[in-house]
Amino acid sequence: MKLSRLGFLKEAVLITVLVFAHLGCSSDSSDADSVAADAAVIIYSGEPVLRPAPPENAGKDGFSKGCYALDLTEPNSDNTRWLALSESGGAYGFTARDLETAQAFYMQASDLGTYLFYDASKQYLTWSETGLSAVDTLNSADLSGDPDFISPAEWVVDPSPDDPARFRLTHRATGGYLAPGGVTMDPAGAGVVAFYPVDGCTPHPELTLDATGQVTRTRFDDGDLFGIVDSHSHIFSDIGFGPGFHGAPFHRLGVEHALGDCDPTHGVDGRKDLWGYFTDGNSNSDVQGLFLAIAEKEAPDFNHRTDGYPTFSAWPAGPFLSTHQTQYYRWLERAWMGGLRMVVQHAVANRVICQLQAYVQDDPDQYHCNDMRGVEESILATYAMERYIDAQAGGPGKGFFQVVTTPAEAREVIAEGKMAVLLGIETSNLFDCFSTETEDQPVCDAAHVSTELAKYHELGVRVLFPVHKYDNGFSAGDGHRGIIELANFINSGNYSSYVQDCDLDAPNRFDGGSVAFGGLNKPRETYLGPPAEDMSQFREDPIFALIPFVNDAFEGPLDGDWCQGHGLTPMGEFLLGEMMKLGMIVEMDHFPRRSYERAFQILTENDYPAIGTHGENFNGRIYGLGGMSKTNLDRCHDPSGERNPARRFIERAQQIAELGGYPAEGFGFDLNGFAGAPGPRFGDNARCDEPQENPVEYPFSSVAGDAEFTQPKLGERTLDFNTEGFVHIGLLPELIQDARLGGASEADLEPLFRSAEGYIRMWEKAEARGAVISQQE
């Protein structure tokens, strides 16, 4: 579909002459915008070519993944030309006189109504002051280090104001309009474009789905929703953890940019991935090794291979490498086809991890490392991902991934066979409310908390952890031991405050057992107040900030049962009250024991449900309030067949039913949250005590029977669930199939597949109780 060399040159020369003739009359011929503006005055040379009728189309969002050629006329003209590639392959021009010699483009959506034009030689249509160019490699905000960078390859398609049956293309980076000679900044000179279906395209790079079928089963016979909830997910950890986490769940420019080589952030052999090195199988209490690695700005030896798309030789690897993306949108799509119909996307951030990894990158100023900025960016990115997936599917609301803000919306989305996505927050420095008081922090009073809660509720947040790992203005941190003790000291400037007065009516999921850093445990009487130590220099120089406390850090552990000496603050109680008025879902599992005890009292007094998405149900008392928890399938099969892989779901469902609740329990994988993932049953990394049989084989069908799965691939890499485990969320169908091979029947799995219904019922009760509580004020 290329012009002959002579034909292209004739058209190019005539266009160039017209451009420069006009520039001679321009008052500022050096201005690139003038060059762009003058593109509108180009008149096609030679005999006129009458434009054909525009082909039927589905509107501006209907061209995704199609193969098209495009022609362009000036406003109020029927004389047209088609866009063609120069014989040298380096430039485009409107020089083709017929469709047969036009360039074919694969239109890859980057957002709703926005496209990349990708030609058969794997080049993109771009614009700069040098003209319309064909380039094979795109820069991005991530690669350039400029957060405001917009790719010159993105083009926005809108109906033409001069001809509603045709279109106008806007260059997203400059705001100019495609015109006969390139791009003009004058809207009146915008060309009128039509798209013509053709053959001969090269598809844009993308990962395969390795599944066929169409989601049709949406309900059980009794009318309840059919589908699984993943009640604890972190899709955008690449935002919240800065350079500490690699890989995005989507990228406007495609998989090559979303899941590229992690060398730029993790370094050669992954040795700059310090957080991953010291949490993935290496001792997370090796203080000396950690200090030396920080000083050297790299791990002492090989960590992991870094290559991403298309080879992926080491990552993703959910059970083994925690600092790499496991929830790319195509993997979520495969999980959705296997029954995942609801996901709680918790925006997560961690200032200490971000600052540490930014320092290792020798560029601490490139990352703001503010928890709440990261949270807000993650929320907005979730909406952007929803638009991106909609764009791939052909328009607003057509994609499988739909953000919901009410139980009714969730029911509607799942009943339509899509995935309902609920927004939450899990971060320590919630609303910038710290346990310490410094001049650069907001005053964490009732007015501030109410304003922040209203802001994030307006953004769509409906689920909230009042506290996470570190002390904040609402509660002491969750009491997690090991390296988290040191990180909490860095975050707050306060020493640990563990005590042995632990006879409390509360679970000890994180808050119990020995203290790893005994020298950092110096219990304080007053929880809120100025920091004991100044850790503000950690961002610029972690070693300088930590040196005064090396002796404390090297002291041994404190054995016995220790727990946080402080609990819920008055502002923490206020936050819970405000959340209940809004009908929000309270996440319980990061409360330390004292906070949990008081929070549960408040919830009980108000008959208000809550959830434990790290698996805590408080001996069933969470269920008694109408709440939920989460559990898992057994990974190792019992050769005798006596131990059902779904036994915990069966047991939980029975317990819930006995307490008068809805018998359902979902997953809470915590993927991308440094929580690991289910491992393999076979191979060197298996952790099964008994010989295993019945590996997953292909193809197999979903529980619903409406999808069939083939062996999953990652570009050039073929995955083996049997020996690699739950590599990413897209292997959810394999996880369930594996349980079925171990003896779990559809009836045994019913509590799992009713879990989306169960979660929505909990949410409905929260909203109903919230309305009552608000009226009582």
Dump pLDDT digits (tens) for 212-267: 999 999 999 999 999 999 999 999 999 999 888 999 999 999 999 999 999 999 99
pLDDT in tens, 694-721: 999 999 999 999 999 999 999 999 999 9
User: Does the structure show a pLDDT above 50 at 25?
Assistant: no
Which parts of 620-722 are beta strand (E)?
Answer: 700-701, 707-709, 713-714, 717-718
Estimate to the nearest angstrom the gap between the alpha carbon of 115 and the chain centroid: 21
Average pLDDT score over residue span 11-21: 36
Long-range pairs of 657-661 with CB within 8 A, sequence gap ≥ 24 = 659/620, 659/623, 659/624, 660/624, 661/623, 661/624, 661/626
User: Does the structure show a pLDDT above 50 at 599?
Assistant: yes
Q: How many CA atoms lie within 13 A of 147 on its CB side?
A: 7
User: Does the structure show a pLDDT above 60 at 29?
Assistant: no
Contact by Cβ (8 Å): 51, 81: no
Of 278 and 777, more confident: 278
Nearest to 737 by CA among 704, 714, 759: 704
User: Does the structure show a pLDDT above 50 at 420?
Assistant: yes
pLDDT in tens, 478-515: 999 999 999 999 999 999 999 999 999 999 999 999 99
H or E segment and range at residue 380: helix 371-393
Name the residue type at position 580. M
Contact by Cβ (8 Å): 343, 229: yes
pLDDT band of 44, cuts 50, 70, 90: confident
Percent of the chain with pLDDT over 70: 94
User: Does the structure show a pLDDT above 60 at 204?
Assistant: yes
Question: Which pLDDT does position 438 carry in this prediction?
Answer: 79
Average pLDDT score over residue span 531-548: 95
Question: Which pLDDT does position 145 carry in this prediction?
Answer: 84
CA distance 301 to 614: 33
Question: Which pLDDT does position 15 carry in this prediction?
Answer: 39
Average pLDDT score over residue span 94-101: 97
pLDDT in tens, 463-479: 999 999 999 999 999 99
User: Does the structure show a pLDDT above 80 at 80?
Assistant: yes
> Which CA distances in Å does 366 have to 470, 491, 538?
24, 20, 16
pLDDT in tens, 665-703: 999 999 999 989 999 999 999 999 999 999 999 999 999
pLDDT band of 187, cuts 50, 70, 90: very high
CA distance 292 to 85: 55
H or E segment and range at residue 759: helix 755-776
Average pLDDT score over residue span 601-629: 98
Q: Which residues pair with 427 in a beta bridge?
A: 349
User: Does the structure show a pLDDT above 90 at 448?
Assistant: yes
pLDDT band of 41, cuts 50, 70, 90: very low
Question: Which pLDDT does position 192 carry in this prediction?
Answer: 98
> Which CA distances in Å does 78 have to 7, 71, 98, 180, 200?
21, 11, 14, 13, 27
CA distance 472 to 567: 11
- What residue ranges define each of the domains in the chain, with the CATH number in brackets? 5-197 (2.80.10.50), 205-462+569-777 (3.20.20)
Average pLDDT score over residue span 154-176: 98
Question: What is the full DSSP assignment across 3-62?
Answer: PPHHHHHHHHHHHHHHHHHHHTT-S-TT-HHHHHHHGGG----SS--BPPPPPP---TTT
Nearest to 596 by CA among 716, 417, 747, 474: 474
Taking each continuous run of H as one helix and of E as one strand, the counts in the chain are 24, 26
Question: Which pLDDT does position 437 carry in this prediction?
Answer: 82
Contact by Cβ (8 Å): 498, 519: no
Question: Which pLDDT does position 109 carry in this prediction?
Answer: 99
Average pLDDT score over residue span 271-284: 81
Average pLDDT score over residue span 321-344: 98
**Farthest CA pair distance, the chain:** 93
Task: Decide: helix, strand or coil at residue 666.
Answer: strand
DSSP 269: G
